[in-house]
Amino acid sequence: MNPPKSQSKIPSLGYALLGLLQKPSSGYDLRKVFSSTSLKSYSDSPGAIYPALTRLEKQGLIRGKVEEGSGMRRRQLFRLTPKGLSELKTWIIRPITREDLLWGQQEIVLRFAFCETVAGPAAAVELLQSLETALKAYVAALHDELQGLPPAMPGSGRLAFECGVRSTECFLEWTRYALATYEKEGRKKRGTP
Amino acid sequence: MNPPKSQSKIPSLGYALLGLLQKPSSGYDLRKVFSSTSLKSYSDSPGAIYPALTRLEKQGLIRGKVEEGSGMRRRQLFRLTPKGLSELKTWIIRPITREDLLWGQQEIVLRFAFCETVAGPAAAVELLQSLETALKAYVAALHDELQGLPPAMPGSGRLAFECGVRSTECFLEWTRYALATYEKEGRKKRGTP
DNA sequence: TATGACATGTAATCTGTTACATGATTAG
DNA sequence: CTAATCATGTAACAGATTACATGTCATA
């Protein structure tokens, strides 16, 4: 009666966890990653992590097993299931859309960060290419909007808008830099013909 | 018994609404601003806006009045109360901390965008100066972290980190550009001595 | 043996999302 | 008249925050 609800919408934190679980980890390990590395934008609170892990396990995307080592603290190691890996891969390699850009850089860069180990360098290049396309259109649209701003707008309002434009341009430059890096690597491996 | 709970933590959306309500608006107006301008990162759904307005009114930060025009649709105009204006100002001019940077650019730029009309150009300059200080330290820390990355890290992981560094540097450049803009304006008004 | 770090979880509460509901006014 | 748009809300649900609760192990 309903359309098949194959994908039961996973929040961003869920995908971050899936990506990190390429290396089997406990909830505590994951919390430490979020609190100590540059993924600080995600919550490291137990009230966020543990329920999220439980949900992912219920969906069959990860599987936890309590470690039984002599003289060790109780510790549950989670690892990706094949289904979880496939879900992660699907999320990562979906081409970048304008919507993705509106929801923010963070998630896009996270997808890219996981891309090489999950789907290989070729997929990373494809992801960057779709990102470049989307960004070029978006930057152009932002410039148009900047032109159309009411001249009565106070200085700080216009400057704030310019900040958004610059930040997007910077993201585009990084995308090109990343593409160039992959190209260089490719040439190295093929022996710079 | 409890410490005085003078500030009852307002979420980011609440402050965005307070800032926009410098110009009296209806809930529908505000939704249109969120859906049509570059504030698209905030939700324009009625289920977010209307409850948020109700909360702000209960806290005495805004006041709504139903408009009674001949042959007009029912429409409730909200405007800032003095208490709301003061709360908004306090939020805006608090110096930028490292925590603010971790929570994201978005909110900082929003604060700056409202700063000039709420607190004047001098406050905007002070805000930018505290931002510059915080950003300089943060960029340095990010460079250190980049040096310390494990060499075993896959290419896309390192590139993703570099994206964060570049984006922060870009933000710092914008901050200096904005400061320069204010300085130029100041000289113009004082007659370029 | 007492302190602190390790490790996991739960409960209350708040906010946002999604979807639905309602009525008034204007355009065709 | 009827369809679309204006304008406001509500209800059910999911997810995050905060604070608390529990117990283990190492070490001083």
pLDDT of residue A5: 36
For β-strands A76-80 and A62-66, DSSP reports them as antiparallel
Which CA distances in Å does A22 have to A30, A82, A84, A85, A115?
Answer: 12, 11, 10, 8, 12
How confident is the model over A21-48, as pLDDT tens digits? 999 999 999 999 998 887 888 989 999 9
| pLDDT less than 70: residues of chain A | 1-8, 68-73, 187-193
* Residue A167, number of CB atoms within 10 A of its CB: 18
Strand D–CB A104 distance below 7 A: no
d(Cα B4, Cα B162) in Å, to the nearest integer?
44
**3-state SS assignment for residue B72:** coil
Strand D–CB B84 distance below 7 A: no
How confident is the model over B95-137, as pLDDT tens digits? 999 989 988 899 999 999 999 999 999 999 999 999 999 999 9
d(Cα A84, Cα A78) in Å, to the nearest integer?
12
Asked if the Cβ–Cβ distance from B41 to A102 is below 8 Å, we say yes
CA of B50 to C1' of D9 (A): 8
pLDDT of residue B6: 39
- Cα within 13 Å of Cα(A87), Cβ side: 25
pLDDT of residue A151: 80
Strand D–CB A9 distance below 7 A: yes
Beta bridge partners of B65: B77
What tokens does A82 get?
Answer: 């094949």
pLDDT of residue A40: 81
| pLDDT less than 70: residues of chain B | 1-8, 68-73, 187-193
CA of B74 to C1' of C26 (A): 14
How confident is the model over A102-111, as pLDDT tens digits? 888 999 999 9
